[in-house]
Amino acid sequence: MTDLSVYPITRKWPASHPDRLQLYSLPTPNGVKVSIMLEECALPYEAHRVSFDSQDQFSPEFLSLNPNNKIPAILDPHGPGGQPLALFESGAILLYLAEKTGQFLPADPARRYETIQWLMFQMGGVGPMFGQLGFFHAFAGKEYEDKRPRDRYVAESRRLLGVLDARLQGQHWIMGDDYTIADIAILPWVRNLVERYGAGDLVGYGDFAEVQRVLAAFVARPAVGRGLLVP
């Protein structure tokens, strides 16, 4: 059995099942991307809650795994070559898990890169823009009298929803019939925009029928339902 005790993070979050992949996370849009992926892949894992309330993400133990102090992060005792692998950044983790299991990433090279393209659309656009809108609409930024920052993110979020809606015309998922890591990356952010941030009316979410249809299909998946509650 792999000895994970050499990793400082296991001192704060001991592994009850050190033979399983260790997930350090919180049910945020980025966090649930990985828990949903793990549920979809049916990989055995052990989840540890990184509490923002107690600033766990700034603890020396967590920083030893992710110096960027962001969730999620993983520690896989069965990484490449049978050696443990510590990994952070949700997009990188999705790619790793897809390649590890051979699931949710097309084998055809062209379609593989097209899927990665949409993963990057989330990482570089949807996540940052929706997140900033959440700050200015639902959290501390809502107290700002100047609404120009908020309106900038409203406009950009609406534009991104339009791009996604056009992509989904006549398709089951972002990559057509294939459910992929692109869906797992993007759709939790759409859900969060509407449900957690309460910004549906602000961005005109009702105008994007294709996004609504696919989000409903996404949250209806049993693995998604389980992953949204982890840890």
What's the CATH code of the domain at 61? 3.40.30.10
Residues 113, 89 within the same domain: no
- Euclidean distance between CA atoms 192 and 138, whole angstroms: 11
The answer to the question of residue 133 being in a domain is yes
Q: Could you give the residue ranges of the DSSP H alpha helices within the chain?
A: 9-12, 29-41, 60-65, 90-101, 109-121, 127-138, 148-167, 181-195, 200-203, 209-219, 222-227
Do both 82 and 128 map to the same domain? Answer: no
Q: Which of 101, 131, 162 is the last residue of a domain?
A: 101
Range of the domain at 17: 8-101
Judgement on whether residues 17 and 92 belong to the same structural domain of the protein = yes
Q: Verify that 120 and 184 share a domain, yes or no.
A: yes
- CATH number for the domain including 168? 1.20.1050.10
- Note the pLDDT of residue 188: 98
Residue 227 in any domain: the answer is no
∠ CA 174-179-181, rounded to 5°: 80
203 occurs within a structural domain: yes
Note the residue count of the chain: 231
State the virtual CA torsion across 220, 229, 104, 77 in degrees, nearest 10: -160
In a domain, residue 228? The reply is no
Q: Is residue 71 part of a domain?
A: yes
Q: Are residues 124 and 170 in the same domain?
A: yes
Answer yes or no: is 1 within a domain: no
Same domain, 211 and 151: yes
Which of 101, 133, 165 marks a domain boundary? Answer: 101
Residue type (1 letter), 81: G
At 2 the pLDDT is: 75
89 and 123 part of one domain? no
Report the pLDDT value the prediction gives residue 3, as an integer from 0 to 100.
83
Same domain for 113 and 215? yes
Per-residue pLDDT tens, the chain, 231 aa: give them: 678 999 999 999 999 999 999 999 999 999 999 999 999 999 999 999 999 999 999 999 999 999 999 999 999 999 999 999 999 999 999 999 999 999 999 999 999 999 999 999 999 999 999 999 999 999 999 999 999 999 999 999 999 999 999 999 999 999 999 999 999 999 999 999 999 999 999 999 999 999 999 999 999 999 999 999 998
91 with 126, same domain: the answer is: no
CA distance 98 to 80: 13
The answer to whether position 231 is within a domain reads: no
Final residue before a domain boundary, out of 40, 72, 101? 101
Same domain, 120 and 189: yes
pLDDT value, residue 1: 61
Tens-digit pLDDT profile for residues 12-49: 999 999 999 999 999 999 999 999 999 999 999 999 99
Tell me how many domains the chain contains: 2
> What is the Cα–Cα distance from 122 to 131, expressed in whole angstroms?
11
Do residue 82 and residue 113 come from a single domain? no
Residue 226 lies in a domain: no
119 shares its domain with 214 = yes
